[in-house]
Amino acid sequence: MSQFENVTIVKQANVYFDGKVTSRTVVFADGTKKTLGIMLPGEYEFGTDTTEIMEILAGDLQVLLPGDSEWISISGKGEFTVPANAKFKLIVATVADYCCSYL
Amino acid sequence: MSQFENVTIVKQANVYFDGKVTSRTVVFADGTKKTLGIMLPGEYEFGTDTTEIMEILAGDLQVLLPGDSEWISISGKGEFTVPANAKFKLIVATVADYCCSYL
């Protein structure tokens, strides 16, 4: 789906890592939430509160999921799931556009 | 207003200047359009197709409007209007969060 309809979007951006990672929060009619974000090239560690499904819409990056020792490469489009209350690492090589769903 | 309700948001980001300026397009029930965007520090020149009202939600920047010789400084919150089919320049000093309306 290329767009989300009948949603609420929070005007103010979420800003992390001096703006190298930013997102906007989208709230759906059923109360579920997604963020649409941009990551500039760099290395990041994130923590989760809930299970997160990260859909990469564009960009080249590597992800190290919690408990893993092997990095996963994503080029262009891809998806990975991170369990709740966990940390994961990203090495972003080119500007990455993403959609994160919170379960 | 801190959020926009009953809107459509285009999933894919608009990416300019190697990702230093990015935005998401929000479409309202009446067909009007806004973009919610982020500008990282840097110097930029933009062109308009329609009249644009730029609302700065956060950030420190200077803007040179078309035909002007004096830069306007905005710190934190501010707003400026750019006529259609014109160019304007920005010097962004700190991460800027904005909402642009197209008339």
Please report the ipTM that was assigned to this predicted complex.
0.93
Cα-to-chain-centroid distance, residue A75: 15
Residue B96 has pLDDT above 90, yes or no: yes
Q: What is the pLDDT of residue A1?
A: 73
What tokens were used for B55? 């609302």
What confidence category does residue B59 fall into, taking pLDDT thresholds of 50, 70 and 90? very high
Chain A residue numbers touching B55 (CB-CB < 8 A): none
Q: Using 50 as the pLDDT threshold, list the residues of chain A that sit under it.
A: none
Q: Do B24 and A22 touch (CB under 8 A)?
A: no
Question: Which residue in the set B6, B12, B27 is minimally distant from A57, CB to CB?
Answer: B12
Residue B87 has pLDDT above 80, yes or no: yes
DSSP 3-state assignment of A17? helix
* Domains of chain A in sequence order: 8-102 (2.60.120.10)
Mutate to test the interface with B, among A3, A4, A6, A23 (most CBs of B within 10 A): A3
Q: What is the pLDDT of residue B1?
A: 74
What confidence category does residue B74 fall into, taking pLDDT thresholds of 50, 70 and 90? very high
Backbone angles phi, psi at A19, to 5 degrees: 90, 0
Residue B24 has pLDDT above 80, yes or no: yes
Q: What is the pLDDT of residue B89?
A: 98
What tokens were used for B89? 């320049």
CA distances from B40 to A21, A30, A52, B16, B19 (A): 10, 34, 26, 11, 9
Q: Quote the radius of gyration of chain B (alpha carbons, Å).
A: 13
* Helix, strand, coil % in chain B, rounded to nearest 5: 5, 65, 35
* DSSP character string of B4-36: EEEEEEESSPEEEGGGTEEEEEEE-TTS-EEEE
Chain A residue numbers touching B9 (CB-CB < 8 A): 3-4, 7, 9, 24, 26, 36
The 3 state secondary structure assigned to A67-103 is CCCCCEEEECCEEEEECCCCEEEEEECCCEEEEEEEC
Integer Cα distance of A43 and A21 in angstroms? 10
What tokens were used for B79? 């707003």
Question: Which residue in the set A7, A11, A20 is minimally distant from B57, CB to CB?
Answer: A11
Integer Cα distance of B95 and A4 in angstroms? 27
Q: Do A11 and B18 touch (CB under 8 A)?
A: no
- Chain B residues contacting A via beta carbons under 8 Å: 1-13, 15, 18-20, 22, 24, 26-27, 36, 38, 40, 57-58, 95, 97, 99
Q: What burial letters (b/e) apply to B75-95, b meaning 16+ CB within 10 Å?
A: eeebeeebeeeeebebebeeb
DSSP 3-state assignment of A19? helix
Q: What is the pLDDT of residue B103?
A: 93
Q: How far is A67 from chain B (nearest CA, A)?
A: 31
Residue B88 has pLDDT above 90, yes or no: yes
